[in-house]
Structure 1
Amino acid sequence: MAHGLGGTKDSGLEPYAAALPSNGLDVFAFDYRGFGSSGGDARQTVSIADQLEDYRAAISAVKTFEGVDPNRIVLWGVSLSGGHVLSVGAGRDDVAAIISMTPLVSGRAAGRLAIANLPASAIARATALGLRSRIRRRSGRTPMMMPIVAEPSEIGALTLPGYRRDYLAIAGPTWQNTIDAAIGPEIGGYRADRDAGDIRCPVLMQIADFDRSAPPSSAANAAVKARAEVRHYPCDHFGIYSGQPWFDAAASHQVRFLTRHLAAPTPPTA
């Protein structure tokens, strides 16, 4: 189980993790390198390639735990990690199921949605800061930082009305409201949806129909490619977290999905 953009495992994931053990499921939640309680010298910097590598490393680690069936591993991701689990799970036979919640699967589509919802000046300022940060990183200098969430009039990765309030409501003690400004160029070419057709296990795709940051239409198209079970929720991106109206339904759907697909087969009668 891993978080989305700039998130940490103690920021909104624990209520979902708590709902699963009571139904016979064990949870291994982790932070990507550079975030939360994980190591890494480049702090608060998102690298898609590194995060995919971290997720694969988490799978390998879990398989070594006593009592874990290496063929009954489930991948769980939300937002940016909701796309990661599609890419990581593609082409594998050792993944039993995937849960992809409010996934960001296409950076290009997310960019178009941002253009539709944000002032052009705000996008231009964030883009310029991101390009400066990339140049600084390539020359070995420290990156330019900006808030993960900010008010609409400010520079930040997520600045839509209400997002700062909603993100801060789930923020855990290890979370920091800062991120390498190069996140925009990093996500721009992201295409987890291209891997969806290579997934061989059951997939639960949970889509927020009014999502203003992770385009729901792109998630739906990826769900078709993955032959996924799809659940829709009439809310924005943060409407499925604990304390929000659609958390209980989203958690219940996950439990029912996993119980159905991971249940031990009934032994044949004599």
Structure 2
Amino acid sequence: MAHGLGGTKDSGLEPFAEALADGGLDVLAFDYRGFGSSGGEPRQRVDLAGQVEDYRAALAAAASLPGVDPSRRVLWGVSLAGGHVLTAASGRDDVAAVVALTPLVDGLAAGRLAARHHPPSALLRSTAAGVRSRVGRPVMMPVVARPGELGALTLPGQLEAYTALAGPTWSNEVDARIGLELGRHRPVRHAAGVRAPLLVQIADFDRSAPPHAAAKAAERGRAEVRHYPCDHFDVWPGRDWFGPVVEHQLHFLRRHLTTSDRGRMPADTASQ
């Protein structure tokens, strides 16, 4: 389990982990390289390929933990990480299930969606910051800011929603070059290679991760799909749709992990 853009494991993931642990699963939540409690340099730079490798490393680490059945490992991701789990699981036979919550699976589609909701001047400012960061010294910008300010997420309500989740290791800054790199980010292409049962949970009014792109990935991945009449942050702890989202995840995982050949999910396990 890992976070989305600029997020850390202490920023809203714990309630998901606790709910899944209460349902009988062990949970391994981790921070990407350069973020939160993880090491690595440079700090606060979103390395898209590196984050997928971090998922694969976490998958391997989980297999070595006491009491873990390597044949029943699950990849769970939200937002940007919802695309990462498709890439990390593609082509593998040792993943038992995949959960992609409000996944960002197509950077080009996300760019078009951003153009609908932001004035051109705002997009030009973030693009210019990204260019400066790529050709010179790193340029940092806020992960989330108020409308009209420079930032990765600046739609009305996003600053309040994101900062309400913020944990002690979270820092409201990210290397601005991510805005340039997201255009080439298309984990939707890997969805057809996911062999494990796949759950895709879509916020139908998502202003950050295009819901139509998530639906396309779900179709390619032959996924079970759940829809919620809400925006991107409304599935998080403290919001209206957190409960149904977790309930659907548990229902999905119980069906696919509790089988005659795999044995039953343990009824009482601790969160890692």
TM-score category (smaller protein): over 0.9
Which segments of 5 or more consecutive residues in structure 2 lack a partner in the other structure?
263-272
Question: Aligned Cα RMSD in Å?
Answer: 1.0
5 Å-filtered alignment, 1:216-255, equals 216-255=211-250
Instruction: Find the counterpart in structure 1 of residue 259 from structure 2.
Output: 264
User: How much has 1:264 moved relative to structure 2?
Assistant: 3.4
Aligned residues of 1:199 and 1:226 also touching (Cα < 8 A) = yes
User: How much has 1:266 moved relative to structure 2?
Assistant: 7.7
Per-residue CA deviations over 1:34-67 (Å, capped at 9, x if unaligned) read 1110001211000111111111111111111111
Instruction: Find the counterpart in structure 2 of residue 133 from structure 1.
Output: 133
Instruction: Find the counterpart in structure 2 of residue 16 from structure 1.
Output: 16
Aligned residues of 1:47 and 1:186 also touching (Cα < 8 A) = no
The 2-side partners of 1:187 and 1:266 are apart by 41
Aligned with 1:253: secondary structure?
helix
5 Å-filtered alignment, 1:38-49, equals 38-49=38-49
5 Å-filtered alignment, 1:56-75, equals 56-75=56-75
Instruction: Find the counterpart in structure 2 of residue 121 from structure 1.
Output: 121
The 2-side partners of 1:237 and 1:266 are apart by 37
| Structure 2 counterpart of 1:208, from 203, 213, 223 | 203
The 1-side partners of 2:135 and 2:261 are apart by 59
The aligned length equals 262
Instruction: Find the counterpart in structure 1 of residue 170 from structure 2.
Output: 175
| Residue type at the aligned position of 2:97 | A
The 1-side partners of 2:63 and 2:169 are apart by 27
The 2-side partners of 1:260 and 1:4 are apart by 26
1:104 equivalent to 2:104? Answer: yes
- Which structure has more RCO (C-alpha within 8 Å, separation ≥ 6)? 2
| Residue type at the aligned position of 1:46 | V
1:156 equivalent to 2:133? Answer: no
| Residue type at the aligned position of 1:42 | P
Aligned with 2:41: secondary structure?
coil
The 2-side partners of 1:266 and 1:128 are apart by 55
With the length of structure 2 as denominator, give the TM-score of the two structures.
0.95
Aligned residues of 1:105 and 1:222 also touching (Cα < 8 A) = yes
Of all paired residues, the percent bearing the same amino acid is: 63
